[in-house]
Amino acid sequence: MAGDAQAISVPESPPSDLWTLGAIGVIAYVLGNGVHEGVGHMGACILTGQTPISLSAVSMECSHDSQFVLAGGTVANFLASALFFLLGRRTGPRHPHWKYFFWVAASTNLLSATGYFLFSGAGGFGDWAEFIQGLQPVWAWRASLAVLGGASYAIALAFLLRQLQPFVGLRGRAAVPVAQRLCWTPYLCGGIVECLAGLLNPQGMILVALSAAASTFGGSSGLFWGPYWLPALQSAPATPPLPIRRSNAWIAAAAVLAAAFVATLGPGLRLSAPMHR
């Protein structure tokens, strides 16, 4: 009841603009995809002296997939999430759009990284399932991955939700619908764009289900159900929320980036001729 009373005492402000929230989400999701496939996997492929063969929104083919290459995507997501978190902390309330973008970008990268352990451990496929291939007993390694993923995902989500408080402002049950607007909009818009790109991949629909849909709607699903946790995580007093007002610049940037992403990394880029093994 005290939380609800605090929420009522805070002056009302107009809700954040859905178009701008969605645009920021699209940019953050596309960037996270590039971090995982391009910076992580392709970067690790090059660092190990191998040749990147192709790059798409759902996969990166290397001339030789070592454990370093397999782990590269997740490691890059962890590093990117830390960078975006620090940038968000250094961004003041005078720049709410950038501060919110850094929060969404940190969230998508961190949830993708921690969720991949759970995904590979429970499902038995993906980068980390291949990483532990040959290690015995298989069931123990998979169970360890699943436990690590589940625990780290819950900790990461709780941490991220606390960082969302400046944009929510309210406390208690009144904070949930505000948090839903801030979390659901980028989650749905970013996930749809990634799945549209995945539909164009030449390797079949299975990658759409296992990579595009699983890594976005599945991997960052905490943005969908996490807002219900928020009242239990709040400790700061209620404050007027930082507004995310309509920004045509962010909307235009998201439209251009989404079109380029779907058109190029959807069907994929051939980087070199396949090598005979």
Sorted by sequence, the CB contacts under 8 Å of residue 105 that are 6+ apart come out as 28, 31, 32, 80, 81, 84
Q: Which residues does residue 62 pair with via DSSP β-bridges, in sequence order?
A: 52
- Mean per-residue pLDDT, 246-274: 93
Kindly report, residue by residue over 168-210, the tens digit of the pLDDT: 998 899 999 999 999 999 999 999 999 898 888 776 666 565 6
Kindly report, residue by residue over 15-50, the tens digit of the pLDDT: 899 999 999 999 999 999 999 999 999 999 999 999
Lowest mean pLDDT among 99-108, 122-131, 158-167, 251-260: 122-131
Whole-model pTM: value is 0.90
By the 8 A CB rule, do 144 and 116 touch?
no
How far is the C-alpha of 119 from the C-alpha of 153, rounded, in Å?
A: 11
How far is the C-alpha of 247 from the C-alpha of 259, rounded, in Å?
A: 19
- Mean per-residue pLDDT, 251-277: 87
Residue 69 clears pLDDT 80, i.e. is over it: yes
Q: Residue 7's pLDDT is what?
A: 41
Which pair of structure tokens corresponds to residue 136?
């015995």
Mean pLDDT of the chain: 89
Q: What is the amino acid identity at position 54?
A: S
- Mean per-residue pLDDT, 229-254: 91
Domain parsing of the chain, residue ranges: 16-264
**DSSP code per residue over 71-89:** HHHHHHHHHHHHHHHHHHH
